[in-house]
Chains A and B, each alone.
Chain A
């Protein structure tokens, strides 16, 4: 008799990820990912005089600091999962609204006590063990900037 490995449910992993995000438990968010998980926040793009800094790296070294920074600026940050679709091989897409009230500076945006609430699209790769191997996120910064009273296209 051979043992059959039980394949983890990728949707459950993604649901746990956003539940941890609602609790501001970034350590648990990282723990749901593999040690070397890839991270890409596509809209994150900072133009300096000599180079462009993008939101591409690893969950542990870039993702967690970005989540912590957002939570620091928006202490009531929360999210609502609208839909999750998953393939049979662990690819998952989720539509999630994220937002909160700004209390501290966030990038170039000074706090004005304004709130944002914006739909995001996330794409995950989840392995058979239920760990996230990569995550990519898309959202409309222009909409968030408008909601926060920031009208410059930085």
Chain B
């Protein structure tokens, strides 16, 4: 079975947004509840572009990766980086983050058809020195 998901994460790690998005089908869906991102390929590109822009030293360490018999690729990873731009409404304070995540990418015919990500936004906010959930942009 081809592993478009592994290729996708390699491209994101390299900051190759075009290469990553070439692996995503035009009618793919993205659902990232913690970031309140929901939509299609355009929203996916927007989220990942914002991430690599906000964390230019982005480091993604894969801890576990497998493909289910239904074609879903499951990837547990640690995301690390130093904030260099506003991110998801949080003002840049040049804080370092380490954030454990799990991603589930649906695959069909060698292309990614769906992207779901799970992490704790509270931990992300804590790392970025946010004090209150109802005032994320205030520091």
A12 close to chain B: CB less than 8 A? no
A153 adjacent to B66 (CB under 8 Å): no
In the complex, what's the smallest C-beta–C-beta distance from A26 to chain B, in angstroms? Answer: 23
Give complex CA distance A25, B44 in Å: 40
Give complex CA distance A141, B100 in Å: 13
In the complex, what's the smallest C-beta–C-beta distance from B134 to chain A, in angstroms? Answer: 5
9-residue interface stretch from B14-22, B51-59, B69-77: B69-77
B76 adjacent to A123 (CB under 8 Å): yes
9-residue interface stretch from A31-39, A60-68, A86-94: A86-94
Which single residue of chain A is at the shortest CB-CB distance from B124? A142
A-side contacts of B119, CB under 8 Å: 42, 138, 140
Give complex CA distance A2, B104 in Å: 40
B132 adjacent to A151 (CB under 8 Å): yes
B125 close to chain A: CB less than 8 A? yes
Give the bracket for the number of chain A residues in contact with chain B: 20 to 34
Supply 29 A–B pairs (Cβ within 8 Å), ascending by A: A42-B119, A42-B120, A43-B122, A85-B68, A85-B70, A85-B72, A85-B74, A87-B66, A87-B68, A91-B66, A93-B104, A95-B104, A120-B118, A121-B104, A123-B74, A138-B119, A140-B33, A140-B119, A141-B123, A142-B121, A142-B133, A143-B34, A145-B133, A146-B133, A150-B133, A152-B131, A152-B132, A153-B126, A154-B126
Which residues does B use to contact A, with CB under 8 Å?
Answer: 33-34, 64, 66-70, 72, 74, 76, 100-102, 104, 116, 118-123, 125-126, 130-134
Which residues does A use to contact B, with CB under 8 Å?
Answer: 42-43, 45, 47, 85-89, 91, 93, 95, 119-121, 123, 136, 138-143, 145-146, 150-154
